[in-house]
Amino acid sequence: MAKKVGTEVSFAVADAVKLADVDVIAAYPITPQTHIVEKLSEYVADGELDAEYICVESEHSAMSACCGSSATGARTFTATAGQGLELMHEVLTIPASSRLPMVAAICNRALSGPLSVWGDHSDLMGVRDTGWIQIIAENGQDVHDLTIAAFKISEHKDVMFPVMVHMDGFHLTHVIEPIVIMDQEDVDKFLPPFEYNNKLDPASPVSQGTYAPPHIYPEIKKAQDVALVNSKETIKAIWKEYGDLFGRYYNPIETYKTDDAETILVTMGSFSETASLAIDKLREQGKKVGLLRVRLWRPFPFAELRDAAKSAKTMIVLDRALSFGGPAGPLCSEIRSAFYQEKNRPQIISFISGLGGRDIDPEDFEAMIARGEDIAKNGSDSEYEILGVRE
Amino acid sequence: MLSWKDIPMGAIVQTPGSAKEYRTGDWRSQRPVWDLSKCIKCGLCYIYCPDASIGWKDDGYPQWDEFHCKGCGICATECWTKAINLVEETE
Ligand code: SF4
Ligand code: SF4
């Protein structure tokens, strides 16, 4: 029987990776991801996990090693954060275009400068267009379940894309939560062995990651994009299967009290749980407010989002990242795009807050909702507002 | 030409060595021309050619590969008897 234990969320990631019985881990330690790879290196050193642990000299090398590993048909994992993800960036587009399955735990961290080891979504937004499937966890249980499911999604024959599981640095990675750690037997039932048809094999040679001149490059990119968009149905099916087997369901868009909500707050990541407290309080006051959380960031679930926000007159979107001089926070830009063609589109208000590890407490969310409703009625001078900073 | 629907997953190339079907000779603006009366069959041009576009004829003289030669001119620079000249491509 799977049992609930009090454990650090980083260890719940490591345990998920161990349960998935990975073959190769290539990673470079960086705060706030370090505890994940430390734990995994212990598992390998102690013989509890039969895997290659490749100590690389940088994140760029980590991702390069992961590409090679996956190409041989080995189940592959890495983890990083912030500047480490930035250093990895150049190589990130390769497994997405070469369709090399792997799972990466990204412990979201603010980008320099100024130097910050604390959490926000700047690193997450920086890798938005690398072609990876990107999943957002909100708590320790999410992290554990979604990491296990991520291997099945990544390696599914109709998907074959690398998957990032995003989790907020410190606010998630370093907290201790009660988490149901899965049983090996259950995971083995759920997660089949990785079968890679095009693996590098001297007996039947193939070339991967080749050069493409202009007469073929656009066709390759369209094929990649269509495949990523189509992966959404398989992701949903695998999450449903996980829910049917183990009782915990995950959806591309998660909703909280949205059924009749006229004002909907939109969040992503661990702050969603804090936001739900503000929703409860406003509901008690009779306000028709709800909360909608984006779980699947890529491929973006447009239809599910529109469906979940049918009743909304105002949507208030929190971004924990800035698009400097841009139209809104990056999440809000997506939400606005999703509704632009709709006949009765809601007003969509953009707020930036929680940068570089700054907390947002339930009262801040209440104030955010109040300010959002005010802007919806009376307008604002700016495209987006940064909340929670000293004037 | 392939449609996007025909692209194998990951744009993988399943036929090894298919790069040799790519006519890199199209990139050339100059071509090397041999004056075999000056050639001493030393093989330097063969060694230096970065595109393996020089081979050997049965009689021991260099054999130029028009399909792949990019016209870089390294062979002409390295040939110490000046048996190779670069001339402008006219087509
Ligand atoms: S011009 Fe360059 S590519 Fe062509 S044969 Fe000479 S060395 Fe080789
Ligand atoms: S380098 Fe000149 S002399 Fe030597 S084999 Fe080539 S063409 Fe002949």
Interface confidence (ipTM) of the complex? 0.86
pTM of this structure: 0.92
Ligand 1: residue whose CA is nearest its atom 6: B75
Nearest of A134, A50, A118, A127 to residue A87 by alpha carbon: A127
- Ligand 2 contact via B76 beta carbon (within 6 Å): no
A312: three-class secondary structure by DSSP: coil
Element holding A336 (H helix, E strand): helix A330-340
Q: Give chain A's contact residues with B (Cβ, < 8 Å).
A: 97-100, 160, 198, 205-208, 210, 212, 215-216, 218-220, 222-223, 226-227
- B56-70: string of b/e by CB count within 10 Å (b at 16+)? eeeeeebebeeebbb
A235-280 pLDDT per residue, tens: 999 999 999 999 999 999 999 999 999 999 999 999 999 999 999 9
Q: How far is the CA of B86 from the centre of ligand 2 (A)?
A: 14
Q: Does B88 touch chain A (CB under 8 A)?
A: no
A21-68 pLDDT per residue, tens: 999 999 999 999 999 999 999 999 999 999 999 999 999 999 999 999
Any idea where the domains of chain B sit in the sequence?
A: 30-91
- Ligand 1 contact via B51 beta carbon (within 6 Å): yes
Contact assessment for residue A141 and residue A104, using Cβ atoms and an 8 Å cutoff: no
Contact assessment for residue A107 and residue A33, using Cβ atoms and an 8 Å cutoff: yes
Ligand 1: residue whose CA is nearest its atom 4: B69
Beta strand segments in chain A, E: 3-8, 24-27, 52-55, 76-80, 103-108, 133-136, 163-168, 176-181, 253-256, 263-267, 289-294, 296-298, 314-319, 347-352, 385-386
Q: How far is CA A63 from the centre of its chain?
A: 18
Best substitution site from B45, B57, B77, B86 to test ligand 2's pocket, by max atoms within 8 Å of Cβ? B45
User: Which domains does chain A carry?
Assistant: 3-246 (3.40.50.970), 253-386 (3.40.50.920)
**Two tokens at A261?**
């909500």
A142-164 pLDDT per residue, tens: 999 999 999 999 999 999 999 99
Q: How many CB atoms lie within 10 A of CB B13?
A: 18
CB atoms B11 and A223 under 8 Å: yes
CB within 8 A of B23, min separation 6: which ones? B67, B68
Q: Does B59 touch chain A (CB under 8 A)?
A: no
Residue A177 is classified by DSSP as E
CB within 8 A of A226, min separation 6: which ones? B4
Contact assessment for residue B48 and residue B74, using Cβ atoms and an 8 Å cutoff: yes
Q: What is the CATH number of domain B30-91?
A: 3.30.70.20
Residue from B7, B14, B18, B27 whose CB has the most chain A CBs within 10 Å, to mutate: B7
Ligand 2: residue whose CA is nearest its atom 4: B42
Distance CA A388, CA A352 (A): 9
Amino acid found at A256: Y
Residue of B nearest to A225 (CA): B4
Give the pLDDT confidence score for residue A172 in this predicted structure: 97
CB within 8 A of B53, min separation 6: which ones? B64, B65, B68, B69, B70
How far, in Å, are A23, A121, B24 from residue A18 at the CA level?
10, 27, 48
Give the pLDDT band (50/70/90) at residue B16.
Answer: confident
Distance CA A145, CA A250 (A): 9
Distance CA A276, CA B47 (A): 71
- Ligand 1 contact via B74 beta carbon (within 6 Å): yes
Give the pLDDT confidence score for residue B17 in this predicted structure: 83
Residue from A219, A226, A230 whose CB has the most chain B CBs within 10 Å, to mutate: A219
Give the pLDDT band (50/70/90) at residue A1.
Answer: low
A314-337 pLDDT per residue, tens: 999 999 999 999 999 999 999 999
Contact assessment for residue A201 and residue A162, using Cβ atoms and an 8 Å cutoff: no
